[in-house]
Each structure stands twice: as structure tokens, then as C-alpha cells.
Amino acid sequence: MPSLPAVASARMHLLPPYIFGELNRIKAEKCAAGIDVIDFAMGNPVDPTPGFVIDELCRAARDPQNHRYSVANGIPELRREAAALYARRYGVKLDPETEVIASIGSKEGFSHLCLATLGAGDVVLTPTPAFPIHRYSPMIAGATVVGLAAGEGSDREVQERLLESIDRTCRAMTPRPKMVIVCSPHNPTARVFDRDFYPGLIGLARTHGFAVVHDFAYAQTAFDGFKPPSILEFDGAREVACEFWTMSKPYNMAGWRAGFCMGNRDMIGLLKSIKGYFDYGLFAGTERAAIAALRDGDAAAAEQAALYQRRRDVLCKGLLELGWEVSPPKGGMFVWAKVPAKYRGMGTMAFCKLLMDKAAVNAAPGVAFGEDGENFMRLALIESEERIATAIARMREGLAK
């Protein structure tokens, strides 16, 4: 690990080297040489934000009232609209004053929630492989993170295994875990939990006294008729759980940085308190545009999910033809695929470099999400169907040499 300057805090030494740095360097060199790199590495939407949302931003940006500081927890109209969406989609009635808070994207809210609820001596459980923020935000806050290997198998098998692991770990540990972090549809593996999972998790939270944080970033990105459940739909959830929801994926607003946390009043209150010290919330023009998206964007979100499904189908078909092991996911914006057997011994980081060298295709190595991700690759569904087909053709030709 590179040495850090003396001014670095102790927590900076907890953070590993940025594993995508080398791949980004190789990509930059190829692009500088005029080589077209097809990039599946990052879940960064390339499709445009709906026009009516942009129009509302432009209108709001011209209003001097929106040029002032906003409020850390989000303007009341925005929180009411987020609550209305939950009532419409999930049949969940939320109090916009005490059970909803706006955040500068879900990542900001999640990180500040960890600072507000966790500290030295606390233990957090999360399935692995894991999105890095699910591990490192609790660690930055001072907590110890224990990964629970999800393993392979069907989504149903994984969720049953996870509930058993949570129960077993809580019974064996002293002190018992303070928080469990889950995510469905999952990043990076694209696994989903069905409606049988959440009552079991809520029951364990009550039994063992831990809080639940559900990262619901891909709530509206689902396929083949599957509708990802919100944990807040289930009895007792608001006593133990909160949920993060984001504008980034359904409305292609990743760069706008707008999201929410909903649920448990105590956790929402703590997040509100700490955000008051760290930020002034979103730009009010962004908040007005987000209101428009929440109110009138259901059709746009459904169209975007259908687009991701078509890309999923092309990518999974192509990878299967190349000898990869992959199951088409029911949700999320990623495909999690096991590399062909003959490449597994080299490690996924080396395999990523090989793909860049031989095919000018960039993907995320599974090891970037923890040791349990080795032998897998995460591919984001951000390229067009035509470019996905081109990537498959390049991989077929390049890896054959």
C-alpha cells in the first residue's frame, strides 16, 4: 500500500488502494491513442435525464429564491413527494416530517448515518461481496465490519443462507452486532431478495437488537415482472430499519446527487442532526426538479428499466456463448458473471487487464468487492445493445488469439 503523508488521519490507513486506478490508467492510455474502449466498469448511467425534469431545473434555476442555502433535510415539498411515491408504489404511509429525509445522493446519506450511529466497539454485518461503501463507511465511523459470505446458488438459497448466518453470528458474538446492512437488488452481484426475506430479517433484528439499513438504490430497476419489495412494507420494519432510495438510476440523475432515507424515526432524526453540521442540503433547483421526477416520472422509470432489461438480455446471451457462467438477474444495472474456467487461476484483476489489452473492453474485477468476489466480473448495463454486441465480438476474437 502506498505510504500516506504524515498529516493523514488514522482512519485513512483503513482504506485500501483504489483498485480501479490501474484499469483507469490503461483505459486513459488507450483512449489517448484513439482506441475505442467499451466500458462496463462503473454503474454510471449514460442515458439522459427526462426532458421535463431538465425543464423544471432550468425554470427553478432562474428563480432567485432558489439561489440561497436550502435546508439539510430537504424542502418540505420534496419530502412530501417522496412519501407520496412510497404510498403509491408500496402502500407505505410515511410522515414526511419525521420519517423522510433528503440526502445528497444515497452515498452521502449512508456515510453520514454511519457517523451518526456507529463508533469504536460497534460491530456491523454485511453480505460479501459488498459494494465498498457498505464496508468502509462503518469502518471510517470506527466500527468493525464482519462480512458474511453470500456464496453461490439461487437467489432464494442465498437469502436463506444469509438469514442463517446473521442469526448464527449474532448468537456467537459479544458484543452483539449493532447494525446489519443489506442491499436488494444487490450491488455488485445483482441478487434480489423476495418477500419472504424481510419478515425474517426484521424478526432477527428484534431478537438480537440490531438496526437494519437497506440500500434500495435499484428499487425501480427490475426485470421480467419482478417488483423489488421495500423493507418498509413489512410489519415492524419502522421499529428497526431505514431504507435509502435514490434518483440516480430510475431517472438517470446520477450526477444530480439526490436521494432519500426513509423509515425509523430515531435514525432519520440522527441523520438530520449530523447533516445540519456537515451540509446545507441540495441546491433548491435540484430539489424542484426532483419533485417533478417523483411526481411525473413513473413512465420514464419504467422505460429505463425496460432498456436495461434489453441490454441484460444481449449481454447475458453473449457471455454464455463465450463460456461464462451467468444467470440473468431480476434487477439492478449489473450482470455478475463467473469468468471461463481457463482464466480463473490468473485472478480477476489480471483478467481485466487481459480484456483491455486484447479486446479494449473494460469491466470491474470481482475482487474489487472483496475476496469473495474473486473469479467473478461485474459488468454495468450502461452501453447500448449495439456496443454490447460489439464488445462480445471483440472478446470472442481477442481471447481466441
Among residues 280, 297, 314, which one ends one of the domains?
297
The angle formed by the CA atoms of residues 54, 56 and 60, to the nearest 5 degrees, is 120
The SS3 call for residue 380 is strand
What is the arrangement of strands in the sheet containing 364-365, beginning at the earlier edge strand? 334-338, 376-380, 364-365
Instruction: Please report whether residue 5 resides in a domain.
Output: no
Segments forming the whole domain that contains residue 153: 51-297
pLDDT of 375-389, one tens digit each?
Answer: 999 999 999 999 999
For residue 320, give the H/E element and its range.
Answer: helix 298-321
Among residues 246, 273, 297, which one ends one of the domains?
297
Is there a single domain that holds both residue 258 and residue 364?
A: no
Instruction: Please report whether residue 339 resides in a domain.
Output: yes
Among residues 231, 265, 297, which one ends one of the domains?
297
For residue 128, give the H/E element and its range.
Answer: strand 123-128
Instruction: Please report whether residue 292 resides in a domain.
Output: yes
Is there a single domain that holds both residue 251 and residue 309?
A: no
User: Which pLDDT score, from 0 to 100, does residue 2 have?
Assistant: 61
User: Which pLDDT score, from 0 to 100, does residue 52 have?
Assistant: 97
CA–CA distance, 280 with 236 (Å, rounded to integer): 32
The SS3 call for residue 393 is helix
Is there a single domain that holds both residue 378 and residue 246?
A: no
Q: Give the CATH number of the domain where residue 341 resides.
A: 3.90.1150.10
The SS3 call for residue 244 is strand
Low-confidence ranges of the chain (pLDDT < 50): none
Instruction: Please report whether residue 360 resides in a domain.
Output: yes
Is there a single domain that holds both residue 83 and residue 107?
A: yes
Burial readout 253-277 (b: 16 or more C-beta within 10 A, e: otherwise)? bbebbbbbbbbbeebbebbbebbee
Is there a single domain that holds both residue 252 and residue 316?
A: no
Is there a single domain that holds both residue 205 and residue 283?
A: yes
The angle formed by the CA atoms of residues 183, 144 and 154, to the nearest 5 degrees, is 30
Length, in residues, of the chain: 401
Amino acid occupying residue 367: V
Q: Counting Cβ atoms within 10 Å, is residue 351 exposed (0-12), middle (13-18) or buried (19+)?
A: buried
DSSP secondary structure string for all residues of 249-272: TTTT-GGG--EEEEE-HHHHHHHH
Q: Give the CATH number of the domain where residue 189 resides.
A: 3.40.640.10
Count of domains in the chain?
2
Instruction: Please report whether residue 2 resides in a domain.
Output: no
CA–CA distance, 279 with 198 (Å, rounded to integer): 33
